[in-house]
Every structure is written in structure tokens, then in C-alpha cells.
């Protein structure tokens, strides 16, 4: 990376396999990018699509064809189809080939193909991964124990093969952001050297979670569970605690 930031900003080339709809990991990714000063990085975001405005400080590249991003058409595209149909990987690979490797960081979200990470490394880019959750090995162990504890046949789809694939992927990054202490612990368990783990936090935006103080005075107390009704989301423990 260049030392003289005033001459021009370095490039942060971000890979996000999630369509942006204003919530979820896509929202977190964009929020982080929006708050990185432009004098430090020129920020390029490659993602399948976005159905809302993104800050002009980010150079957004949508890889789903424009015709499929028209609202009445995109609403009919299944979520997984929208992620898979885009030429996201080939577009990102072309950007890797045309960037200045000495001044570019490849910033990965989700689970990119191993070939894409290797291409970035072989080109000489620094590679960084954002972990939004614990490693698959940690998740698998927790779920296996939970299903066994409740005497339920395991319904999870995390296999030993997928755990090993993620271990292989994580080994390719120069640095990995751990968004909380549990993620950090899971990375250490996965064999990632502590020197490659950067402790961080996603923070939060108060304006997105505004609470009216008078609500409880106008209606009875209600509890809402938001998530899949499954062992994975801790529903048996929730019901036991509620009882």
C-alpha cells in the first residue's frame, strides 16, 4: 500500500455475493464501506444487484443484467437464483486482472470460490475475509450436540466436506475480520493463527432501531421470535426459558 495517501487513495475491491435489499449482511457490508473515508480507499463494490440507493462514495458494480433488475421482474426471481445467475465471479476475476496489485485489497464476504481467492493472491493482492458468523466447524459441533441433546435426528446440512472446504478457504486469506469474540474463538479452533485475525465489531445504527417510549403504555406486552422454527435457532431452549 502506498504511504502517501494524499496522492490518491488505494483500492478496496469488495466481493459481496448477496443482493442488497436494505437488511441483513448486505446492509452491514454497505454500511461499513460507506463509513470508510474516501481519502483512504477508493471503494468498489461488486454484488449481484441492489434495489435501493447506495452512497456515491462507493463505486457499485451490479452483475445481474439490467433487464432482470426491473422491479416487477426481480420480484419474481427466487433469492437463490438471483445469487447464482449473476456473473459475479467472472466480473470480479476481471477486476483482479486489471487492478494495480500493489495498491489493492480484495475484501471478501460470503463464500467465494477458492479459485477466485487464489487468483487474487497469485496476482499479488492482499486478501481479507469478513466473517459474519462462526466457522462451519464450530457451528456443526454446536448443532450436532443440540440435536443429540434433544433426541432429534440431525436436520443440519453442514457436512465434514463443507467444514474442510471452509478451512481450505480461510487458509488463503492474509487477514480475517472476527466480528465478535465467539467468531474469534472459532477461527482459532479452525487453526487460524492469531496474527491473521483482526478483532472488530459491526456496531449498530440507532436510527434504524428507534423505540417509542410510550408504546408499553398503549398496548399489552408481546414477545416476538424472529427466525426459523428449528433447533438451529435455539427454539427448544427458548421455549424452555419461556416456560
Q: What's the pLDDT tens digit per position in 80-102?
A: 444 444 489 999 999 999 999 99
pLDDT score for 154: 75
On average, the pLDDT of the chain sits at 85
pLDDT score for 150: 85
Per DSSP, helices labelled H in 171-229 are: 181-189, 215-218
pLDDT score for 70: 53
pLDDT score for 28: 93
pLDDT score for 214: 64
Pairing of strands 41-47, 104-108: unpaired
DSSP state at residue 195 = G
Q: Which residues of 102-115 are buried (b: 16+ CB within 10 A; e: fewer)?
A: ebbbbbbbbebeee
Round to whole Å and give the CA distance between 113 and 226.
31
Round to whole Å and give the CA distance between 155 and 141.
13
The count of other CB atoms within 10 Å of the CB of residue 143 is 18
Counting as low any pLDDT under 70, the low residues of the chain are 1-9, 65-86, 211-218
pLDDT score for 119: 97
Amino acid at each position: 500500500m502506498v504511504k502517501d495517501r494524499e496522492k490518491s487513495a488505494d483500492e478496496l475491491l469488495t466481493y459481496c455475493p448477496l443482493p442488497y435489499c436494505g437488511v441483513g449482511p448486505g446492509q452491514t457490508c454497505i454500511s461499513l464501506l460507506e463509513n470508510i473515508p474516501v481519502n483512504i480507499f477508493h471503494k468498489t463494490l461488486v454484488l449481484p444487484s441492489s434495489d435501493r440507493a447506495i452512497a456515491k462514495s462507493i463505486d457499485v458494480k451490479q452483475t445481474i443484467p439490467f433487464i432482470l433488475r426491473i422491479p416487477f421482474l426481480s420480484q419474481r426471481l427466487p433469492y437463490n437464483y438471483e445469487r447464482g445467475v449473476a456473473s459475479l465471479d467472472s466480473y470480479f476475476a476481471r477486476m483482479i486482472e486489471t487492478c494495480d496489485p500493489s495498491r489493492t485489497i480484495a475484501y471478501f464476504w460470503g463464500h467465494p470460490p477458492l479459485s477466485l481467492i487464489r487468483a487474487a493472491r497469485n496476482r499479488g493482492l492482499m486478501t481479507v475475509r469478513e466473517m459474519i458468523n462462526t466457522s462451519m466447524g464450530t457451528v456443526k459441533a454446536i448443532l450436532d450436540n443440540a440435536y443429540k441433546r434433544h433426541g432429534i435426528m440431525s436436520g443440519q446440512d453442514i457436512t465434514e466436506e463443507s467444514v474442510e472446504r471452509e478451512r481450505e478457504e480461510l487458509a488463503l486469506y492474509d487477514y480475517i475480520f472476527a466480528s465478535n469474540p465467539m467468531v474469534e474463538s472459532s477461527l482459532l479452533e479452525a487453526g487460524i493463527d492469531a496474527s491473521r485475525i483482526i478483532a472488530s465489531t459491526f456496531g449498530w445504527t440507532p436510527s434504524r432501531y428507534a423505540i417509542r417510549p410510550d408504546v408499553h403504555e398503549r398496548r399489552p406486552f408481546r414477545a416476538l421470535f424472529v427466525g426459523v422454527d428449528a433447533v438451529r435457532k435455539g427454539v427448544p431452549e427458548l421455549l424452555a426459558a419461556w416456560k
